[in-house]
Each structure stands twice: as structure tokens, then as C-alpha cells.
Amino acid sequence: MKSYTKVPTTKGEKARAGFIIFLFATIIYTIDFIANAIHSGLASDMTVGIWLYYIPSAFGHAALIAGIAWMLFYLPWTFIFRRWQPAAAIYCTALTLVQIFLLVDIFVFSLYRFHLNGFVFEMIAGGGTEIFVIDWRTFLSFGLLAIICGILPFLLARWTARRYYRRTRRMIAPTLTVLACCIVFSHIGNAVAAAQRITAVRRTTKALPYFYPLTANRLLARMGLFNFDEMDEMEATNKRAGINYPLEPITASDSTAGYNILYILIDSWNPRAYGEEATPNIASFAQRYGQFYSQHFSSSNGTAGSIYGIFFGLPYSYETDFSAAQISPVYIDRLIELGYNIRTYPSAIFTRPQFHEMIYRKVPDIRLRAEGATSFDRDNFITATFLDEIDSLSAGDKPFFAFMFYDLPHAISLPAEHRTRFQPSWDKPDYLALNNNIDPTPFFNLYRNCVYYDDSLIGQVLARVEEKGLLDNTIIVITGDHGQEFNENKRNFWGHNGNYTKWQLQIPLVLYYPGVAAGDTVTHTTTHFDITPTVMGRWLGVTNPPGDYSLGYDLADTTRRYPFILGDDINYGFVFEDIITTTNHFGSMEVTDTDLNPIKRSQVGASRLNEAILKKNRFYK
């Protein structure tokens, strides 16, 4: 092969010399990504076919990272320096830093199965040595390997540029074509894998940091290329490979009390709207028959996560994987096993969110919606329907489980004749008028009028249950899905889904069961995660400890509940006794006190963040 000893000086020649560095960096990063799959344990489930997808995907993704660094840290400098070496030195320094980042990312991913982001950096800044115990030899190895990976492309590029420059130049177009094909292949392959429910492909690509592949399920379905219904079972089998729920098989005694179970939920229930004024019927029932939990918190600041937490005893971050695997709550499974007659009475439609699939996928013919044009009409409908069906529910030899979900306080709208109890009151919500300085009283009074009206409906339900003599054999849970804020924090937050303070998480809870000490007020902290373990352990004969299938405890257990795990698998938060952290899609973390005042991020402490992460991932293998 003919040697070429001229040092590149023109802009084109210098750009091509930098391309050689880019190519070697791409190869090194590809090796990193393969090592990540192996080191994290994902490779143990990878077949030859999965490897044939993963390696080109890793090559293409590595090219994107090295290419971005080339455009930022090499190409601009070729216009400044006459010789190519200074630009190459800057580029290789950047590549060294990227390599350090990738090496640390491999370490973090093997521990937590997510990549380096702002959240992890906060852990490190807040005391990472408490979590990431790395001795000096490991640090030294990381540093030396990163430096070698940065210097090696420079030396290889210099040697190649001097000896084989012309031959290398002819390789640029074919090489870029191959890399482009790898990138396209990775996205098309993922789209096909998603459509075919080949979950092993999608699970494996998690080893590629910041890889956001294409999916096209709807397009492929319209084209008639895939029948997704036929593939659901295949996906469920694949997805279960990474899930460990429950931790141990559910065991139960043969004898149970056979109690009926009635859940009554009020959407968006502010704890200030509980008591003799706003909810006289519920408060009276709690005083005469049940227990009131004054420090009860939801599992989310939104409906989907709240209901999910009640039935699964787990945070909503599990929903994506559990739904793909068609996993039903062990609570519902146990009710079915015991032959419960399961009925639902939802005011808002049950398919948005998809509770019929998340919670009741094994229950046939559940009611998905109520009749009526407004929440007012629908709340009346579910009340009348339950009252009409209560005789048939209680007539058989099997107990019933009934779930009633009132929506009026979420809609905050009702006819004028029912807006008189709390004044002054708005006639309807005026969200455009809301600001941090407005007096919230008229808006809050409109809301309280809605709660008061639903209390009158719930009062009818409770009266009928008592009239039928069902208090002797019925468990009743009355609570909200989540809170509803009326700017109590003076941060201009109204409603829910906005933050993780008590005003969007705290809700009333009333519990009744035969033999309860009536009129008690329970003041220790409890959560929605506790409801399923309480019912399962006390009345459904389950002998497993709650930790086998939930993050909760028996409601009577005074064990510390913090940190609360909230949000989904991308946007999530941890609530500690004195600190709230929220992490968004990009991994950046905000730290505040419980009143949303910003505080130093180091105050959260790495050990507490590690505790929260391990708790969040408890039911993954």
C-alpha cells in the first residue's frame, strides 16, 4: 500500500483526518455498549438474533455520539488552526470525557438499570461515596482506560493520515453509508420488534444510553402487517422476564370471613372539605361506625397513579411493564379466586385511563361508564344504580366487591339550586381568572358545594347498606383518589398533577369493618399503598407479608412510610418527611422543602435517594 506523508493542511484534508478519529471513537464506543449489555446482565437473555440486532444498533448509536462530538469539537476548530493537530487534540479531549461518562454510565446502569442523568449527578454531589463504593484501583482503571480511549484515536489517525491518507479518503463514503444503514436499521428493527411484541429487543436496547428508537404500531396496524391482539400473549411472556411480582407466590388460608367489600372514592378530595360542614354524612358514619385516618396520602397526584396504588399497592411507575405483561393485581386475583361478585360504578369513563385493562383485565363484563351528560348526572346515575342492585349483590351465597367512583368535585360544576350551602360561590370554574393573588374562597366554596352534594349521595348508599343489615358483614373504604389544591402553598397551583405537596396528595380516609373501634381517629401516616395489604391480610386470608406484593403495610402498622414513590417511570418524585424531589424526562432533579421552597440539592443526601431508588425498583429482577 502506497504511503502518503503529506500532513493535512486544507480544510477538506483536515476534515477527513478528523473523520479517522471519529471512526476509531465509534468503534470504541460500540465496544462500550456491548460491554454494558454484558455487564448489566441483559446479555444473559439475548439470543443470536437479538445480538444481530443489537450490535449494528450499538454501532449506529456510537456513530451518532462520536459524530455529534466531531461537529462540536473538531470541525469548527479546523477553521481556526492551520494544522489539524490542535483541532484533533480538542476533539480527543472531548472523546476522553465522553468515554469517562460512558464508563461511569456502565457502572450506574448495572446497579439501577437507568442511565446517568441529572438525578444521578445529584446523588453523587450529595454524597455519592455513600452509594457508589469504588476503591482507588477502580478509579485509576477508569481514568487510564478513558485516557487511552481518547489518545488512541489521535495516534491512529496521525499514523493513518501520514501513510494511508488517500486510501482512507476513499473509505469515507462507504463507511458513512454503513453507519447510516445501522442507524436506520436500529429504528426500523425496533419498530418491527414493538409491533411483534418482541420485548427482548426493546429491553436489550435499554443498554444504549439516550437511545430513543422509533415505534410505528398504528401505522403497521393500518397497513395490515401485524395483528396486535394475537401477539399480546407473546409479549406478556417476554415482559415477565424482567418482573418479579409478587416476590413470592401468594399463599392463603382456606377460611376467610367472606365479607363484602365496598370502595367509595371521591375524585379530587381536598382534606379541608371533610367534616361536619362539607361531608356531614361521611363524617357522621366515621364517628358512629368507623375510623378516620387524618394523615392519609395518595399514591399519586393524578387519578391513574392513585387508583393503581390502591389496587396494586405499587407506584404507577410499574404500569407500562405490568400492562405489557398483562399482569393483574394479586388483590383482584384473590377476589376472583374466592368467587367475589365484582361490580364497578364509575362516574367518569373507565377506559380513560384504561382501568378496565390495568385493574380489571380478568373480570368479565364490568361497567365501563355511567349514563348522563354531566358529572352531576353521572354521579346520580351510579348512586341510583347501586341502590337498585344492592339486593341482587347481597342475595347470593358469594360476597360482593363494589367500586364506586364519584366525579363531581373533579368537574367542579353543578346546578344552581345545589350551590347554596357555601357562599360566596362561583357559578362555574373560571380558570383564566386564577392567579397567585386572587381570593380562592369563591372557587373553593363552589368546590365544597360539589363535595357536599356527593356526600348526600354517598349518605344514601351508606344508609341503604345499614338498612339492609349489611354492616355486619361488609368492609367499607371511603377515600379520594388524590388531593385538590386551591393555592394553599401560595405558589399559584390549582388542582392536581402539579406538584407533590400535601395539598395534592393528602386525602381523607374512612375505614369501616365489623368490630372496628368506632369513632377512632388514626393520626400516624398511612398511604394508598396500605389499603390492599390491609384487606388481603385481614380478611382475604393471605399469609404473605405485605412486602411480597406491595410497598404498603397494614393500616394499623405505624412503620415509617417515607419515602413516598410517585409518578410514572419517566417523570417521578420522591417525598421524604422534609424534602420533595421531582425528576423529569431529561433526568434533571428539582429539590424543595414540603412547601415548595427551593433548597440546596445536597440536603437530600445520597443515602436517602438510594433508599428511594431501591424501593421504586423493588419488583424488578
Query: What single DSSP character describes residue 8?
Result: P
Look at residue 229 and tell me whether its pLDDT is greater than 90.
no
What's the CA gap between 34 and 123, in Å, rounded? 26
What's the CA gap between 379 and 409, in Å, rounded? 10
Q: For 139-152, what is the mean pLDDT?
A: 64
Stretch (H or E) spanning 526? strand 526-527
Give me the pLDDT at residue 25, please.
85
Q: For residue 296, which of 123, 131, 526, 73 has the smallest C-alpha distance?
A: 526
CA distances for 547 relative to 184, 453, 544, angstroms = 44, 38, 8
Beta-strand pair 260-266/400-406: parallel
Cell output for 3: 504511503
Q: Which residues contact 442 (CB under 8 A, 6 or more apart)?
A: 424, 425, 426
The tens digit of pLDDT for each residue in 187-216 reads 888 777 766 656 667 677 778 888 877 765
Give me the pLDDT at residue 603, please.
84
Grid-cell match 446517568, residue found: 116
Q: Where are the domains of the chain?
A: 11-241, 262-558
Band (351; pLDDT cuts 50, 70, 90): confident
Query: Can the peptide bond before residue 429 be classed as cis, meaning omega within 30 degrees of 0?
Result: no
Higher pLDDT, 26 or 228: 26
CA distances for 52 relative to 26, 48, 63, 196, 278, angstroms = 18, 6, 17, 17, 63
Let me know: does 340 contact 394? Beta carbons within 8 Å: no
Grid-cell match 380513560, residue found: 352
Give me the pLDDT at residue 471, please.
97
Cell output for 612: 428511594
The tens digit of pLDDT for each residue in 43-93 reads 766 788 888 889 999 999 999 998 888 888 887 877 777 776 787 788 888
Let me know: does 578 contact 604? Beta carbons within 8 Å: no
Q: For 104-112, what is the mean pLDDT?
A: 70
The tens digit of pLDDT for each residue in 273-314 reads 999 999 999 999 999 999 999 999 999 999 999 999 999 999
**Rounded mean pLDDT of the chain?**
84
CATH for 262-558, among 3.40.50.2300, 3.90.230.10, 3.40.720.10, 3.90.320.10?
A: 3.40.720.10
Higher pLDDT, 9 or 472: 472
Q: For 160-168, what is the mean pLDDT?
A: 56
Grid-cell match 349483590, residue found: 393
What's the CA gap between 235 and 179, in Å, rounded? 30
Give me the pLDDT at residue 193, please.
75
DSSP alpha helix (H) spans, 396-431: 408-411
Grid-cell match 403495610, residue found: 553
Burial of 246 (0-12, 13-18, 19+ CB in 10 A): middle
Look at residue 536 and tell me whether its pLDDT is greater than 80.
yes
What's the CA gap between 156 and 533, in Å, rounded? 62
Q: For 610-620, what is the mean pLDDT?
A: 90
DSSP alpha helix (H) spans, 438-478: 441-467
Percent above pLDDT 90 for the chain? 50
- Name the pTM for this structure: 0.72
Q: Which residues contact 56 (CB under 8 A, 6 or more apart)?
A: 181, 182, 185, 186
Let me know: does 359 contact 388? Beta carbons within 8 Å: no
Give me the pLDDT at residue 230, please.
43
Q: How far is CA 44 from the centre of its chain?
A: 26
Q: How far is CA 600 from the centre of its chain?
A: 25
